[in-house]
Amino acid sequence: MNYIEEVDKAYDEFLDVYLDFERLVKTTDSLREPDRHLLLIALGELRNLAELLSELPTVDSNGRYIDEDFVIGRIRDAAELLREVKGAILGGNPDSLAEEELDIDIRGYVVYVREELLGTLKRTLEGQAGGERG
Q: Give the pLDDT confidence of 33-70 residue by residue, as tens digits.
A: 888 898 999 999 999 999 999 988 766 555 556 777 88
Residues (pLDDT < 50) of the chain are: 94-97, 133-134
Predicted pLDDT of residue 46: 96
Say which CATH number the domain at 96 has: 1.20.120
Predicted pLDDT of residue 134: 44
Predicted pLDDT of residue 133: 45
Predicted pLDDT of residue 99: 59
- Tell me how long the chain is: 134
Q: What's this model's pTM, rounded to 2 decimal places? A: 0.82
**Count: domains in the chain:** 1
Q: Which domain holds residue 9?
A: 3-133
Nearest to 68 by CA among 78, 54, 77, 58: 58
Alpha carbon distances (Å) from 39 to 27, 69, 96, 112: 13, 28, 16, 17
Query: Whole-angstrom Cα distance, residue 45 to residue 83?
Result: 16
